Amino acid sequence: MLGAPNDSDGVLSAVSVSRCEAAITEYGRAAGSVVLPTGGFGPHFNTTKVAHGVYVIRSLTARGIPSEDILEPVLSSNTIEDASMCAEVVQELDAAEVVVCTSDFHVQRALILFQRALGERELRVVGARAAMSADERAAAERHEAEVLRVLRADGSG
């Protein structure tokens, strides 16, 4: 489950909550699955002294996922780090399938980066729709379009 912003008190944003909900749904679909939260620290998503992934774990356990089915969070600070650091954990677990839970507007970028990091491993990217204003959604979509343009221009996507 990819991280998203939290506020200065550690309260998860609507984007992060929607990703948690997607992770809970996906967790319930496959017996024996585990959840790997991502998110450490960064000026654009978490400036507290507690890793974002810790706030996510609290949210997931409060919503019914047993703590023993949640792995230690990957302390990444962006999607590139999410993919590379998660790939290391996936390799250690020898996971048959990987499901990445992110936002609907972020699916394409996550897919490109995780395909590159995971190689031939079975991968599915799930996009949750967060409650956000039209202006916030438009800004997120513009940002994603620009990042995808850069990824594709440098030949990595």
Nearest to 99, CA basis, from 16, 39, 144, 34:
34
In the three-class reduction of DSSP (H, G, I as helix; E, B as strand; rest coil), residue 71 is classed as coil
Does residue 40 contact residue 75 with C-beta atoms inside 8 Å? yes
* Residue 96 is assigned to a structural domain of this protein: yes
Query: What is the number of structural domains in the chain?
Result: 1
Number of H helices, E strands in the chain: 5, 2
What H or E segment, with its residue span, contains residue 123?
Answer: strand 122-128
pTM over 0.85: yes
Neighbouring-strand partners of residue 127: 102
Q: Is residue 155 part of a domain?
A: no
Tokens of 31: 């017996």
* Res 154: pLDDT: 75
**Can you give the pLDDT at residue 155?**
63
Looking at the domain assignment, is residue 1 inside a domain? Answer: no
Amino acid letter at 73?
A: P
Residue ranges making up the domain that contains 34: 14-132
Q: Tell me the pLDDT of the chain (157 aa) as tens digits.
A: 999 999 999 999 999 999 999 999 999 998 899 999 999 999 999 999 999 999 999 999 999 999 999 999 999 999 999 999 999 999 999 998 999 999 999 999 999 999 999 999 999 999 999 999 999 999 999 999 999 999 888 765 4
The CATH number assigned to the domain holding 120 equals 3.40.50.620
